[in-house]
Amino acid sequence: LGEAVGRALASEVGAEGMVLLIDTEAGPAAESAAGLREALAAVPTVRLLEVPDVTQALPQLAAAAAVVCPDHGRLRELLAAVGSRALPPLYTVGWSPWLIEACALADSPIAGVAVTDPAIAARRATPCLDPEAEPVSVSPPLEAVVLTPAQLVAAFGRGEEAVGPGAADP
C-alpha cells in the first residue's frame, strides 16, 4: 500500500518536493512506510523526510509538499495538534472507522488513502456463476490504489456512510 502512495506522490509532488513521513516502528503501517520509501527512492527529485512522531513533524509541515502518516492514531494526533491550521495534502493507508468518518467530512483534510483496489477485490471475492468460465484465483496479490476521501467512504462505508458528502451515487 505504501508503494501505491509513493507512486501517486511521485507524480503529484513535482520537482524538488519534500514528502514528510510520520513513521511507525511496527505492524502493517511500518510495512507501508517501507513500500513508500522504496517507491520514492526511484524518484530523485522527491526528498523524503522521516520523523518518528507528531511533535517532530509539526515544525516541518510548512516545507512539506505532502504528508504521509500510515498510522491512523498518529494521524488523529496530528490533526488535533494543528487544529484549523492549513496542512499540505495528507495521505494514509488502509481504513478504520475513524478514517471513514474523517473522509466523510465536507472539508476532509485527507487527500488520498491507499487500499486494495475494491473493484478487483470484489470481483475476486464474488463467485462467477458462469459454468464455462475459468475459476478466478485469489492467490495473486491484489492491486493497490489511492482513493479520494469520497471514494473511500463509498467503498468502505456502510449504509448511510456509503453516501457521504461528495460520494458518487450508486
Mean pLDDT of 15-43: 83
* pLDDT confidence of residue 54: 94
Q: Which of 79, 88, 66 is nearest to 8 (CA)?
A: 66
Mean pLDDT of 59-87: 92
DSSP state of 127: P
Does the global pTM surpass 0.75?
yes
Q: Which three cell numbers stand for residue 151?
A: 471514494
Mean pLDDT value across the chain: 81
pLDDT digits over 148-162, tens only? 888 888 888 864 444
Q: How confident is residue 169, by pLDDT bands cut at 50, 70 and 90?
A: very low
